[in-house]
Amino acid sequence: MNLPDPQSLPLRDIHLPPPVPWWPLAPGWWVLAGAVIVAIALAWWAWRRRAGRRLRRAALAEIDAIEAQFAQDGEPHACACALSRLAHRMTLAARGPRAAAATGTDWIATLEAVAAKPLPDALRELLTRAPYSPAAAGALPRERYAELAAYLRELARALPASAEHAAATGAAPPARRTTHAAETGGV
């Protein structure tokens, strides 16, 4: 049997497929990209939630420290100053820089809005007068300080679950700070 010469047959050379294009991506890459985006979103959400919890824990620990210091030394003016500073920092963390600029009744209204509970009149006096007057602080009964600490505990629990406002404003979580007035004995 005579086979024809392969060179004489009308065949073409080996035809290679075109190279695989980069775009559009294969379905597996789309699934991987979606999983990475979801993982990043979940990590960001968890970080914000954890920061909010850290803010609450720090505020509650600060209240405990203030109460312990008040029980130890019984100094009402120092306790009033510390509770007032803490209330200001928690309001700042929850409401941002506008809360820091508020004073007097505007600040009390902001405090009540954060706590979602009205502040009793006796506690208003403690927050507005006692930090600035040792005589006014000494005239108030010790029970008022415990009531204000309980109110601030509720406020701490009402802080947002995320530290969005604190992160946006650069506010640090409530922590014990020393002020110039405390260092100089109120002078």
DSSP secondary structure letter of residue 56: H
The confidence score (pLDDT) of residue 166 equals 46
d(Cα 102, Cα 126) in Å, to the nearest integer?
A: 17
CB burial of 59-77 (b: ≥16 within 10 Å; e: otherwise) equals bbebbeebbeebeeeeebb
Q: 């802080």: which residue's tokens?
A: 159
Which has more pLDDT, 66 or 125?
A: 66
Grouping H, G, I as helix, E, B as strand and the rest as coil, residue 70 is helix
Q: Which two tokens stand for residue 101?
A: 């600029």
Q: Where are the domains of the chain?
A: 30-177
Grade residue 178 by pLDDT with cuts at 50, 70 and 90: very low
Beta-strand ranges (E) seen in the chain are none
d(Cα 30, Cα 40) in Å, to the nearest integer?
A: 15
- Is residue 65 pLDDT above 90, yes or no? yes
